[in-house]
């Protein structure tokens, strides 16, 4: 797909560092600012995303400009127990929430405990 010099490409296992950087940025955008916690999240996520990219359990897409620079991205983790994909969960920053609401997403009563 191309639009005004931007094309969409799928992520590959070689994109692991960029996928992790985008994941970290997502959590930063949601207000998580503690560098130590973000470092720990990234380290803990690395083996999972490395395997998921290789095995196809993570499907990601990048918007890439004419120079090959990634301008935006998104992805989804496909969980084996959710075969049929009747439900989609996502993390959204305050800036992204209106877009997802326009697409039909609704806030849930999910709860979180920081350890």
Map out the domains of the chain with their CATH numbers. Answer: 2-77 (3.40.630.30)
Q: Give one DSSP letter per residue of 5-59, joined into a string.
A: TEEEEE--GGGHHHHHHHHHHHHHHTT---HHHHHHHHHHHHHHHHHHHHHTSEE
CB 23 within 8 A of CB 77: no
Which residues have CB under 8 Å from 52's CB, separation 6+? 58, 77
Which tens digits make up the pLDDT trace of 45-60? 999 999 999 999 999 9
Which tens digits make up the pLDDT trace of 61-71? 999 999 999 99
From CA 76, how far away is CA 46, in angstroms rounded?
A: 15
Which tens digits make up the pLDDT trace of 17-56? 999 999 999 899 889 999 999 999 999 999 999 999 999 9
Confidence of residue 14 (pLDDT cuts 50, 70, 90): very high
């Amino acid at each position: 797909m191309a639009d005004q010099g931007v094309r969409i490409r799928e992520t590959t296992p070689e994109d692991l560092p960029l996928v992790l950087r985008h994941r970290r940025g997502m959590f930063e955008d949601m207000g998580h600012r503690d560098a130590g916690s973000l470092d720990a999240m990234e380290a803990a996520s690395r083996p999972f995303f490395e395997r998921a990219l290789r095995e196809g359990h993570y499907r990601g897409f990048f918007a890439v400009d004419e120079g090959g620079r990634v301008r935006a991205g998104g992805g989804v983790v496909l969980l084996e127990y959710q075969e049929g994909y009747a439900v989609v969960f996502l993390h959204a920053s305050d800036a992204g929430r209106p877009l997802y609401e326009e697409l039909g997403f609704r806030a849930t009563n999910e709860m979180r405990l920081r350890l």
